[in-house]
A = this chain, B = another copy of it.
Amino acid sequence: MILGIDVGGTSVKFGLVTPEGEIQNATRFMTADWVNGIGFVESMKLEIGNFLKQYPIVKGVGIGWPGLVSLDRTKVILLPNIPSVVNVPIVEILRSEFPHIHFKIENDAKCAALGEYYFGENKRMQTFILLALGTGVGSGVMMNGKLFIGGRGNGTEVGHMLTTRGKSLENQVGINHLIAYTHEQLALDVAKKSSLHTIAELSPKVIADHAAQGDALALAVWADIGTIIGESLVNIVRVMDLNNILLGGGISGAFDYFVPNLKKAMLEHLPTYYTDDMYIGKATLENDAGLLGAAGLIMEAI
């Protein structure tokens, strides 16, 4: 049994994960409570200790972090939300505190790819990118059954790639930017044809729902988002040469509305070598991806 830990800016999730990917006894702690209490690292040590005492069946602990990780995977080196953990030798601290337990850390988007690899519906797909489209845009790549981390350990930070429009991918298709862009389009719709004018608070789900009802403005927003993501995927594919693409995160619910233009952009800019056997599908673990992926870190170790 593995303890998966998914660290986030808001909460830290714990869950026991079976080798089949079942999550048991999931629980969450508020990140701010840890930071403002006895300190993040001390709190993590304490709660891991509590879990291990309660579940002595646990042999390994995998921890996913929303930041950059050192090449040797011993510490977090950039984590704006929790600065007190940066450069702390967290793996060493945990190993010396719990010497019989395996510990591993990884970036959370890379964990999500591991999660799909070990526990998703496309289990053991050898080479793919998981694109996580949420407030932020992250990704993880499995390459021939191994997690790709890049030369210095923090590759596949695709949300910060520049698009053909000169801005970063995240600054165009991240949820807040998507909503801002929809507001801009609504302001241009002076005839108020779009049914979205009646909505007090926009969200990806609402914009997708209106697209489903045929609202032209909503459909155009998603078409544009699809083009931007597709063009970025062209660049990723040219560098990485992979042709399995899994789309996850908060906007992937609008899959049917942005994927046609995404594909169109890829077909326009890539030769058939890259596109002939291309698979573009939804990620399958959604909210559990982080926790399961953190557990996935330990799958080969125990």
A99 at the interface (CB under 8 A from B): no
Q: Does A205 contact B (CB under 8 A)?
A: no
* A243 proximity list for chain B (CB < 8 A): 151-152
A269–B150 touching, CB < 8 Å: no
Kindly state whether residue A33 has any CB partner on chain B within 8 Å. Answer: no
Is A3 located at the chain interface by the 8 A CB criterion? no
**A149 and chain B: residue at smallest CB distance:** B241
Contacts of A150 in B (CB 8 A): 143, 239-242
Q: Is A236 an interface residue (CB 8 A)?
A: yes
A166: interface (CB < 8 Å): yes
Inter-chain contact B240/A162, CB cutoff 8 Å? no
Say if the beta carbon of A37 comes within 8 Å of chain B: no
Instruction: State how many angstroms separate the Cβ of A263 from the closest Cβ of chain B.
Output: 16
Cβ of A152: which chain B residues have Cβ within 8 Å of it? 127, 241-243
Once the chains bind, are B151 and A239 in contact (CB under 8 Å)?
no
Residues of B within 8 A of A160 (CB): 238, 269
A50 within 8 A of B: no
Q: Chain A 144-182, CB within 8 Å of chain B: the 1/0 string?
A: 100001111111111011111110100000000000000
Considering the complex, give the chain B residue whose CB is closest to the CB of A234: B162
Query: Given the interface contacts A150-B242, A241-B151, A241-B153, does A271 sit within 8 Å of B166 by beta carbon?
Result: no
Q: Known contacts A152-B243, A165-B164: does B238 contact A157 (CB below 8 Å)?
A: yes
Flag if A77 contacts B235 (CB, 8 Å). no
Interface residues of A in 24-45 (CB under 8 A from B): none
A78 within 8 A of partner (CB): yes
- Residue in chain B with minimal CB distance to A242: B151
Taking the nearest CB of chain B, how far is it from the CB of A19, in angstroms? 26
How distant is the Cα of A127 from the Cα of B154 in the complex, in angstroms?
Answer: 13
Chain B residues with CB under 8 A of A141: 151
